Chains A and B, each alone.
Chain A
């Protein structure tokens, strides 16, 4: 069974630009969560989607947004990029939303803002 696929793996963008990252969950999984990982702040929760609805959101500015499609694939968008947005963005999929379900992580997209 294929794992969680994140594309692209690496990305370089300029300040002020916007970026879209993609996440394809494991087949049959309906919940997708996004995390930002930086050396200074560690792993921080961005948001979670379940059945195309945002179920939960972390403490990030409105420049960070996401969506989920009917096939459970998810995208996250960051507008007006700042240098501090440089990070590894991780996507995790679960069968369902909730504490009992194991989250499977993709390899991440490493975003560098210059």
Chain B
């Protein structure tokens, strides 16, 4: 079954540093890939989504992700971290066969140090 692996359950960066959160999907190309963010005691908010229209996807708050089929990756990046970026980030493919639903990765908690 299609799944994603998020490498690193915790990532810590300094304010102003590059943010890189890794997501690798398994074998078959997922039709759609999403990144969601969850702030403490909140629901999930969509950051960006890949729908095959373009491999480089720009999202909210200066986040972007590049779909790389050769590496089966969809890593999330941000050039300069802000304190407000501290949250948990989830990569999720949406499958259009079988169970049609978002299948979330295990999540990466981002800490931003002053």
Contact = CB atoms under 8 A, between A and B. Distances in A.
Interface residues of A, number: 25
Given A58-B99, A105-B44, A108-B43, A99 B107 contact: no
A105 to B, nearest CB: 3
Interface stretch (A14-22, A41-49, A71-79): A41-49
A100 interface: yes
A45 B45 CA distance: 16
Interface of B: 31-32, 36, 41-46, 49, 51, 90, 92, 94, 96, 99-107
Contacts of B99: 45, 56-58
A100 B44 CA distance: 17
The SS class assigned to the A binding surface is: strand
Contacts of B90: 43
Contacts of A81: none
30 contacts: A33-B101, A33-B102, A42-B107, A43-B90, A43-B92, A45-B99, A45-B102, A45-B103, A55-B100, A56-B100, A57-B99, A58-B99, A90-B43, A90-B44, A92-B43, A92-B44, A97-B100, A99-B32, A100-B32, A102-B49, A103-B46, A103-B102, A104-B46, A105-B43, A105-B45, A106-B43, A107-B41, A107-B43, A108-B42, A108-B43
Contacts of A90: 43-44
A43 B45 CA distance: 14
Contacts of A43: 90, 92, 104, 107
Interface of A: 4, 33, 35, 42-45, 48, 55-58, 90, 92, 97-100, 102-108
Contacts of B45: 105
* Residue in B41, B42, B43 with the greatest tally of chain A CB atoms within 10 Å: B43
Contacts of B106: 42
A55 to B, nearest CB: 7
A44 B36 CA distance: 14
B100 A98 contact: yes
A43 B108 CA distance: 13
